[in-house]
């Protein structure tokens, strides 16, 4: 049955069950909880802050498996709503109305994020984006579709979102069939985003427990037992906001999709003024502090992760102007939450358990609103 907890035979839900937390940890932070949020990324933090607005006296705790920044700081920081080739594919598969609804959700989410925290606190750059095309047939199809895409999205976005007035060279790119520009998109510094939200959590007296993976959820009499890698926590309300990782806890249409991200050593005179999407958004690049960030490639058939890394580096050298080498300084994996549907999964599963997952690679755009809607289910 969809949404049911996956019982893994861990410790039973009764008072005598031993906990790995100390007496002092339990007394200070973990007892008499009203709500536990599973996942400390943008969705989870937004949900916790919304809960605080609605329930000022509640004892709220976020539990996250990461030890540093959570999923948010493994995000590449693209403030986007969909490139032309992505939206053309959506249009063909879902129809015009559903495609416009997806873009509206993403656009409204980006505006909510910026209005709530301010561009400075997010490290937001109003830099625009370009989609880079190496496939002439795909470029031709997108150019043909541009009038109807622009017409359909104009009311939602306030202006036509796409233009062919920009040349590849103007965008710092080379060796391509052409580009289509999207001036309304931007980029954020995800460390600024995470820091801003964590500071607000502290001000709102919301607990944050990092480095603890939630491994099981067990219902009891008016209370859930949240099993973590270090011990048990109990609360009557549980908000699952850990995106693709929710599939390890619940029977849901969501799974993780690993995404490789590379950042180069600094490049002198790097000219990459806009963010870059390629091949329906499966490859993406941007400039960060004089370095090239490039990521994706999960659609490629690669024998190993090392091969994927080499292909990403090769793409940068081939298509970013005046870049003759790509020396990796930082490398990590982020994990998308994807499923059969393109939209997020926000659902009340009953008995105090609610879920808001499946960001589909659009976490920056929709994470704030998904978190708020998740909290409003409680």
CA distance 245 to 358: 10
Section 10-26 average pLDDT? 61
Are both 324 and 346 inside the same structural domain?
A: no
Q: 44 and 181: one domain? A: no
Burial class (CB in 10 A: 0-12, 13-18, 19+), 101: middle
- Report if residue 264 sits inside a domain: yes
- Sheet of 291-296: strand order equals 178-182, 129-133, 275-278, 283-288, 291-296, 255-264, 328-338
- DSSP assignment of 20-88 equals SS-HHHIIIIISS-SEEEE--SHHHHHHHHHHHHH-TT--EEEE-S-SSS-GGGGS--EE-S--HHHHH
The CATH code of the domain that includes 197 is: 3.50.50.60
Q: Is the domain of 180 the same as that of 266?
A: yes
What are the distances in angstroms from CA 332 to CA 39, 41, 73, 281? 19, 17, 11, 18
Same domain, 172 and 273: yes
Do 326 and 261 share a domain, yes or no? yes
The verdict on 131 and 264 lying in the same domain is yes
This prediction has a pTM of: 0.92
pLDDT of amino acid 80: 97
Helix (H, G, I), strand (E, B) or coil at 131: strand
3 state DSSP class of 125:
strand
In a domain, 182, yes or no: yes
Terminal-to-terminal C-alpha distance of the chain: 22
List 292's β-bridge partners, or say none.
287
Q: How many structural domains compose the chain?
A: 2
Q: Are residues 260 and 329 in the same domain?
A: yes
**Model confidence band, residue 11 (pLDDT cutoffs 50, 70, 90):** very low
| Sheet with 232-235, edge to edge strand ranges | 214-219, 224-228, 232-235
Beta partners for residue 237, in sequence order: 35
Alpha-carbon distance 235 to 218, whole Å? 11
Q: Which domain holds residue 57?
A: 23-74+191-254+341-376
Mean pLDDT of 185-199: 96
Flag whether 86 is in a domain: no
Residue 19 is predicted with a pLDDT of 55
Same-domain status, 66 and 36: yes
Strand pairing of 345-350 and 232-235? Answer: unpaired
Average of per-residue pLDDT values in the chain? 93
List beta partners, residue 264: 328
Q: Is 199 helix (H, G, I), strand (E, B) or coil?
A: helix
Is residue 320 domain-shared with residue 243, that is, in the same domain?
no
pLDDT of residue 41: 94
pLDDT value of residue 13? 38
pLDDT score for 221: 92
262 and 330 fall within a common domain: yes
Instruction: List the single range of 7-21, 34-48, 335-349 with lowest mean pLDDT.
Output: 7-21
pLDDT in tens, 87-120: 999 999 999 999 999 999 999 999 999 999 999 9
The CA angle 111-289-308, to the nearest 5 degrees, is: 90
- What is the per-residue pLDDT across 312-331, written as a single tens digit (0 to 9) for each? 999 999 999 999 999 999 99
Same domain, 249 and 345: yes
């Amino acid at each position: 049955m969809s949404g049911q907890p996956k019982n893994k035979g861990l410790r039973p839900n009764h008072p005598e069950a031993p906990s790995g937390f100390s007496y002092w940890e339990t007394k200070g932070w973990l007892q008499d909880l009203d709500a536990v949020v599973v996942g400390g990324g943008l969705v989870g933090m937004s949900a916790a802050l919304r809960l605080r607005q609605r329930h000022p006296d509640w004892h709220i705790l976020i539990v996250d498996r990461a030890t540093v920044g959570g999923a948010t700081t493994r995000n590449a920081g693209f403030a986007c709503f969909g490139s032309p080739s992505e939206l053309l594919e959506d249009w063909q598969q879902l129809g015009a109305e559903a495609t416009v609804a997806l873009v509206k959700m993403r656009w409204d989410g980006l505006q909510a994020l910026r209005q709530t925290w301010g561009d400075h606190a997010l490290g937001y750059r109003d830099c625009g984006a370009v989609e880079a095309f190496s496939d002439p047939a795909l470029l031709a199809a997108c150019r043909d579709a541009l009038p109807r895409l622009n017409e359909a999205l104009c009311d939602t976005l306030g202006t036509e979102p796409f233009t062919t007035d920009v040349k590849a060279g103007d965008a710092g790119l080379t060796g391509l069939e052409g580009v289509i520009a999207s001036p309304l998109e931007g980029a954020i510094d995800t460390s600024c985003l995470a820091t801003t939200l964590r500071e607000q959590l502290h001000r709102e007296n919301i607990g944050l427990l990092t480095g603890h993976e939630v491994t099981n959820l067990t219902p009891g009499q008016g209370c859930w037992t949240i099993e973590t890698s270090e011990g048990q926590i109990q609360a009557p309300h549980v908000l699952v906001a850990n995106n693709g990782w929710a599939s390890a806890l619940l029977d849901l249409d969501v799974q993780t999709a690993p995404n490789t991200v590379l950042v180069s050593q600094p490049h002198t005179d790097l000219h990459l003024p806009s963010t870059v999407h390629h091949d329906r958004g499966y490859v993406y690049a941007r400039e960060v502090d004089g370095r090239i960030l490039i990521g994706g490639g999960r659609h490629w058939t690669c024998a190993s992760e090392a091969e994927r890394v080499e292909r990403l580096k090769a793409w940068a050298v081939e298509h970013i102007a005046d870049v003759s080498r790509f020396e990796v300084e930082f490398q990590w994996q982020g994990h998308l939450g994807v499923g059969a549907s393109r939209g997020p999964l926000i659902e009340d599963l009953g008995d105090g358990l609610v879920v808001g997952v499946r960001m589909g690679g659009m976490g920056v755009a929709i994470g704030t609103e998904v978190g708020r809607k998740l909290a409003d289910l409680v």
